Amino acid sequence: MDFRSESPLSIGAPSSVQALVDYKPLRCIVKLGGAAITRKNELERINEESLGSVCSQLREAMDSETTDTPDEVLGMDWSRRPGVSIDSMVDEFGEQPSLVSHSSFVLVHGAGSFGHFQASRSGVHKGGLHLPLVKAGFVATRISVTSLNLEIVRALAREGITAVGMSPFACGWSTHRRNIAFADVSQISSALAAGFVPVLHGDAVLDHSQGCSILSGDVIIRHLARRLLPEYVVFLTDVLGVYDRPPTHQNAKLLREIAVDEEGNWSIVNPKLEHVEKQVEITVVSHDTTGGMETKILEAAVIAKLGINVYITKAGTEHSLRALKGEITDEWLGTVIRSSKKQLHAFTGESG
């Protein structure tokens, strides 16, 4: 089965824009988990350290030709920031800078401590736009999540990543009974083809059955994976991966490899657990009201079924860098979710 036989960039994008740019197959879709980039117990606080580390690793993973060249980064956030003078930014790009050619990535981030307060306080996820509180909550939720999106785009741009924010609501995406009803990816394809890194996010959107709903980052990832067929998908979160019980539990075991068959049933390949189906108590570790680890596995299973490997690991570690590069070895710590028809090279080659 060749998933690349149909060019993913041909879906609905104006052909004349495409003709101008080089075709690059999509390498990776990355979910920046809300728990990894925000401080989950503080309202609307970014975890600057973790976000900075994620951006730096993303740049390293995207730069296919270079290794570490932080000195040559062309920062692309030329806007006011507290304590940074604009003049210094002007000097920075006084000469024609060189820009590393990125391999193509799409990023999707969760909301973490942004948006959830506004959404849950007003019940946007339950719909009912005729209710004043829901309509106000819709506006407030979008303000919160787009604030986060802007900060993430800026952090990426400072690392020299050609990030462009694209809100699902502005893209015209909508749901029906909370499932995606309309989500044209043509503007995302066009942005990719032009050499940009689209940055999407969980958003409040219109819903055809209940007026409005929350479209989660995980559902967006699944949809994009289906339409754009990346080589692999990475979920960055605040724990190493999926465990058989809450990771704080003394005997919690990291599930390192999960295989998904054609019917979507999944089984744990590594480690070998006894009575596995009864033992696995999937834990909701993430500060994500739209879906915890269980949702993540289910969404990941749908992607794996397409023949696309999904890597779940902890942001800001050597394991996240390897996952972003698609270089999974035996030493790698995290959870791989893959099609049962597709063997994992490193694992099977070295340990099987």
The binding site for ATP consists of: 112, 238, 292, 296
* Complex with a copy of itself: residue 16 or 88, whichever CB lies closer: 16
**149 touches 199 (CB < 8 A):** yes
Instruction: Considering the complex, state which of residue 77 and residue 261 has its C-beta at the smaller distance from a copy of itself.
Output: 77
DSSP character string of 205-253: EEETTTEEEEE-HHHHHHHHHHHH--SEEEEEESSSS-BSS-TTSTT--
| Residue 206 φ then ψ, to 5° | -75, 140
> Which burial class, exposed, middle or buried, applies to 37 when counting CB atoms under 10 A from its CB (0-12, 13-18, 19+)?
buried
Nearer to a copy of itself, 175 or 335 (CB): 175
Q: Which residues bind a copy of itself (CB under 8 A)?
A: 14, 16-17, 20-21, 43-44, 74, 76-80, 86, 90, 93, 96-99, 114, 117-118, 121-122, 129, 131-133, 135-140, 142-144, 146-147, 150, 153-154, 157, 162-167, 169-172, 174, 176, 181-182, 184, 186-187, 190-191, 194-196, 206, 208, 211-212
On whether the CB atoms of residues 78 and 164 are closer than 8 A, the answer is no
CB of 243 to a copy of itself, least distance (A): 33
Longest dimension (CA), the chain: 64
Which residues are known binding-site members for substrate? Answer: 111, 116, 217
State which H helix or E strand residue 26 sits in: none
Q: How far is the CB of 291 from a copy of itself (least distance, A)?
A: 23
Q: Rounded to an integer, what distance in angstroms lies between the CA atom of residue 260 and that of residue 267?
A: 7
At its nearest, how many Å lie between a copy of itself and the CB of residue 350?
Answer: 40
Q: Which one, 38 or 339, has the nearer CB to a copy of itself?
A: 38
Check residue 157 and give left, alpha or beta (phi > 0: left; psi -120 to 50: alpha). alpha
Residue nearer to a copy of itself on the CB measure, 13 or 240: 13
Q: How far is the CB of 284 from a copy of itself (least distance, A)?
A: 25
Query: With respect to a copy of itself, which residue has the nearer C-beta, 101 or 279?
Result: 101
Which residue in 274, 326, 338 sits closest to 300, CA to CA? 338
Angstrom distance (rounded) from CA 322 to CA 240: 13
Residue 119 CB partners (closer than 8 Å, separation 6+): 111, 125, 137, 141, 204, 214, 289
* Minimal distance, residue 185 CB to a copy of itself, in Å: 10
Half-sphere exposure of 24 (CA within 13 A, CB side): 22
53 vs 146, beta carbon nearer a copy of itself: 146
* CA 160 – CA 348 distance, rounded (Å): 36
Decide: helix, strand or coil at residue 32: strand
Q: Specify the residue, 211 or 246, whose C-beta has the smaller distance to a copy of itself.
A: 211
Tokens of 261: 């068959």
Give least dist CB 156 to a copy of itself, A.
9
The minimum distance between CB 58 and a copy of itself, in angstroms, equals 14
The helix (H) or strand (E) run that includes residue 200 is strand 197-201
Annotated binding-site residues read 111-112, 116, 217, 238, 292, 296
For residue 10, the minimal CB distance to a copy of itself (Å) is 15
